[in-house]
Amino acid sequence: MMFGGSDFNFISFDYPVILFGLTVFILLIILDITEKNKISGNLPNNQMSRGRQFSGRKQNTSLLNKKLNASVFFFRLFLAFAIIALAGPRWGLGYSQAEYRRGLDIVFAIDVSRSMDINDAQTNNVIQSRLDRGLTIARQTVTSVSGSRFAAAIGRGRGYLAIPLTYDNEAALVFLESLDISSMTGRSTNLESLVEAASGAFQSTSAAKKIIILISDGESHDGILRNALNQCVRDGIIINTVAVGSDEGREIHEQANNPDSPLVISRRDSAIMRAAAERTGGIYIDGERDDAALILSNNLLSLSQDTEPENGKKEPKQRRTLFIIFALAAYGISKFITRQPRRIKQASAITLIMLFIFTSCSEGKLLLLEANYLHSRNRYDEALVPYLKALNHADSAPYAEYGLGITLYFMDQEEAALIRYEDSQKLLETFSENEHRELRYRNNYNSGIIFFENEDYHSAAAAFREALRADPRKIDAKRNLELSLISISVESAMQNQSDSRQEQREILFDYLREEEQQLWRSREWAPEENITGPDY
């Protein structure tokens, strides 16, 4: 349901059916008319307010009437705001959550079938196998695209996830260095199974762009690649293809290690690789190009930027949180307004303060409120979007970085969470030490928790010390600092004990070796006999 013109969507609702709940106000108006006389007849003749007496029955009745009418008005305003919030109001155009991404999750899907062992890949006048050429491009890409998570899947007759997503680039490079054709068993090539195995590495809760780099000659004898591509399109996964080998191809025996089997020509299928990239919004790269790795790296780096997509579809922004705030404010006013005069003054002051706070909230702070609400409901993937938007506002950026750290920690991305806490601390360096003390404490304290869980006790102790510098009154930080120091002592004692045992083993070995040598030295050899015959 949408109101407004085609060029500017004024307001729309996710669940417009709920708006029919506003018809309850028709019933309430009817009840007001029928019950008005009964309420007026039940009003007291006199009204005392903490020692102060109002003058005259009319004045008492008029004042109480005004208070009751105001209370009813704000309570009904609360009901209206609550119904509108449940309907999911939207206005103002913005990019949808699926198009707001940060960082990259990259999975190399590497074909290790027997055809990839053919030496017809030529670059820089050097001939190498198709697999070696693909692995060279993959290694150069890992080195060039830093800050991303990498995984690897390999497949021949069936695809397997060899390395899960990790920020450890060295682990990916070591795997790519050690990979060869003997890594897999089975016959034929099944690109569908390989792509499915690669897509299984992604986490649905991650806000990063999902990229598969398919390295193959395109020859597929089993499976239906189109099925895997359609699933990737539904999941928002982009496939970049690297076609290795030559279009002319080379002859190989149909059966491995069997010279009597008939010869067949194996050539790369560029059409399949190009179609796979175009179907998922990726790019096709000719593995024969000398700058293939550079083209792939530049494409990935452009995708990692926090920029709005050129052809992205805009959607009205979610405004439910704003109406929830209005509903709570209206409900509070409806309760306080019926208080005695002295309480009315206090309630008015509180109301003015609340209105001042709400009206003074910048866009960044409102985004933080929305993100915190989503985080409290365990909707971590949705909370990442407003946190990322809040980074563009200077007054909320440090808290947005902290919120991202907390959210990523709950998504089991501890290394990324540490980076966010560190970025939040860097943003706080522009403020004096007395400002944002609680945020400084939280950044260091939560970093210490992660270090301690990873058994990095020295870093944990340093983080807890920094947390106590921000707020020395925190008992939890003191206890955790003591636990970290105790763990360091225990670890040091165990290391010393291990070194002592190693030293004892070396002393014992030296003693046994000396005894053995002494035994051989003390042995006397018998003199040779005088034999004059032949020596055999």
How confident is the model over 292-301, as pLDDT tens digits? Answer: 889 998 888 8
Going along the chain from its start, the domains and CATH numbers come out as: 103-303 (3.40.50.410)
pLDDT above 80: residue 253: no
527, 85, 150, 494: which is closest to 329 by C-alpha?
Answer: 85
φ, ψ of residue 241 in degrees (nearest 5):
-110, 140
Q: For residue 516, what pLDDT is reported?
A: 59
Quick check: 217 and 243 in contact, CB under 8 A? yes
Q: Are strands 209-216 and 104-111 parallel, antiparallel or unpaired?
A: parallel
Q: Which residue has the higher pLDDT, 59 or 461?
A: 461
**Upper half-sphere CA count for residue 334 (Cβ side, 13 Å):** 16
Average pLDDT rounded to a whole number, residues 361-387? 78
DSSP-derived secondary structure for 138-202: HHHHHHHSTT-EEEEEEESSSEEEEEEEES-HHHHHHHHHH--GGG---SS--HHHHHHHHHTTS
Q: Which residue has the higher pLDDT, 260 or 306?
A: 260
How confident is the model over 381-420, as pLDDT tens digits? Answer: 778 888 888 888 887 888 989 988 888 888 888 888 899 8
Q: For residue 476, what pLDDT is reported?
A: 84
Q: For residue 159, what pLDDT is reported?
A: 85
Q: For residue 213, what pLDDT is reported?
A: 95
Q: Which residue has the higher pLDDT, 498 or 7?
A: 498
Amino acid making up residue 16: P
Which residues, other chains included, contact 117 with Cβ-Cβ below 8 Å and sequence gap of 6+?
Answer: 129, 130, 131, 181
How confident is the model over 23-77, as pLDDT tens digits? Answer: 888 888 787 777 655 555 555 544 444 444 444 445 555 666 777 778 888 888 8
Q: Is the dihedral of CA 32, 36, 42, 43 positive or negative?
A: positive
3-class DSSP state for residue 339? coil
Q: For residue 498, what pLDDT is reported?
A: 67
| Averaged pLDDT score across all residues of the chain | 76
Report CA-CA distances (Å) from 353 to 201, 321, 347.
50, 19, 10
pLDDT above 60: residue 303: yes
For residues 241 and 296, give the distance between their C-alpha atoms in angstroms, rounded to a whole number: 9
Quick check: 68 and 39 in contact, CB under 8 A? yes
Structure tokens at 24: 């309850």
Quick check: 283 and 277 in contact, CB under 8 A? yes
How confident is the model over 431-450, as pLDDT tens digits? Answer: 887 788 888 899 999 999 99
pLDDT band at 285 (very low <50, low <70, confident <90, very high): very high
Report CA-CA distances (Å) from 340 to 333, 347, 467.
14, 10, 46
Q: For residue 505, what pLDDT is reported?
A: 65
For residues 9 and 91, give the distance between their C-alpha atoms in angstroms, rounded to a whole number: 6
Which residues, other chains included, contact 243 with Cβ-Cβ below 8 Å and sequence gap of 6+?
Answer: 216, 217, 218, 268, 269, 270, 273, 274, 284, 285, 286, 287
Structure tokens at 414: 């501890």
Structure tokens at 359: 């009206």
pLDDT above 80: residue 146: no
pTM of the full predicted structure?
0.44
Average pLDDT rounded to a whole number, residues 476-495? 84
107, 251, 121: which is closest to 176 by C-alpha?
Answer: 107
The percent of residues in the chain predicted with pLDDT above 70, rounded, is 71
